[in-house]
């Protein structure tokens, strides 16, 4: 069945630094979604990418969808303490939405 | 519009008991999915219901079951509770149009503690 892997599982970042989390699917996706879950909260939708090679930005967050529509990345610049949380990607194929294991981001002030 | 509502928010049960959790999706959303999340873990997919039919199922034992009503509200039942069932149970609703899935809207979750 469809599998979605995320790396790294944990990311310790110094405040002000940049980092990237990666998402890889075992199958071609129709779209990929990204979610953020703050500590103690529930996942909240951030963005959806649909087109091959698509790049979208939200302030300091840059999302990319691979040319083959099997991988994606989230790059955060100038990390802030408000970026703390777990970031999940979710790949959509057919009628299934499969979540990756998430990248838990810890920020060192 | 109102978000996804899960009840109850917190629950304490004893081993061997059964529990029923409820999820009311956003109006117009016919897809409801359930997930189990343990501390520091990802989202483990339980099942998805669409128009009262179970459409997808994760790798959980038969003690975990669910259903969806004609108004799209969904319930999840866990029988013969085990200590390992202690977790945050999240439900998410989404609007499915053709082959595209729109974003999933999550409820606040039900935190189940089995003692």
User: Taking 90 as the threshold, does the pLDDT of residue B109 lie above it?
Assistant: yes
Distance of CA A105 to the CA centre of its chain: 11
Distance CA(A108)–CA(A80), nearest Å, equals 9
**C-alpha pair distances (Å), A67 with each of A22, A50, B114:** 14, 11, 46
CA distance A29 to A31: 5
Q: Cβ separation of A99 and B99 shorter than 8 Å?
A: no
Residue B39: which residues within 8 A CB-CB, separation 6 or more?
none
Cβ atoms within 10 Å, residue A2: 15
What is the rounded CA–CA span in Å between residue A2 and residue A4?
Answer: 7
Interface residue A31 vs chain B (CB under 8 A): yes
Residue B30 pLDDT more than 70? yes
**pLDDT surpassing 80 at residue B101:** no
A73 at B interface, C-beta within 8 A: no
Evaluate whether A32 touches A90 at the Cβ level (below 8 Å). Answer: yes
The residues, ordered by sequence, that sit 6+ positions from B22 with a Cβ below 8 Å of its Cβ are B6, B7, B73, B74, B75
Which of A30, A33, A102 is closest, CB to CB, to B42?
A102
pLDDT in tens, B33-54: 999 999 877 899 999 999 999 9
* Closest Cα in chain B, distance from residue A47 (Å): 8
- For chain B, the straight-line distance linking the first and the last C-alpha, in angstroms and rounded, comes to 37
Chain B hits for A43, CB-CB cut-off 8 Å, are 43, 90, 92, 104, 106
Over 80: is that where the pLDDT of B96 sits? no
Q: For each of chain A's 109 residues, which pLDDT tens digit applies?
A: 789 999 999 999 999 999 999 999 999 999 999 999 999 999 999 999 999 999 999 999 999 999 999 999 999 999 999 999 999 999 998 888 999 999 999 999 8
């Amino acid at each position: 069945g469809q599998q979605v892997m995320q790396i790294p599982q944990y990311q310790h970042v110094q405040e002000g630094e940049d980092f990237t989390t990666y998402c890889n699917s075992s199958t071609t996706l129709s779209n990929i979604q990204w979610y953020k879950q703050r500590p103690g909260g529930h996942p909240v939708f951030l963005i959806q990418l649909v087109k091959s090679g698509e790049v979208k930005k939200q302030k300091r967050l840059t999302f990319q969808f691979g040319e083959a529509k099997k991988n994606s990345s989230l790059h955060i610049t100038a990390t802030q303490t408000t970026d703390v949380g777990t970031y999940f990607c979710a790949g959509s194929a057919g009628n299934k939405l499969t979540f990756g294991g998430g990248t838990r981001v810890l920020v060192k002030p | 519009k109102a978000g996804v509502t899960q009840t109850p928010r917190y629950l304490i049960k004893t081993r061997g008991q059964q529990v029923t959790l409820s999820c009311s999706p956003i109006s117009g959303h016919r897809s409801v999915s359930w997930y189990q999340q343990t501390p520091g873990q990802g989202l483990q997919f339980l099942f998805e219901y669409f128009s009262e039919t179970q459409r997808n199922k994760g790798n959980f034992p038969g003690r975990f079951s669910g259903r969806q009503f004609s108004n799209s509200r969904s319930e999840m039942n866990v029988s013969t509770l085990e200590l390992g069932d202690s977790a945050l149970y999240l439900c998410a609703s989404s609007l499915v149009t053709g082959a595209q899935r729109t974003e999933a809207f999550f409820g606040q979750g039900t935190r189940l503690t089995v003692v």
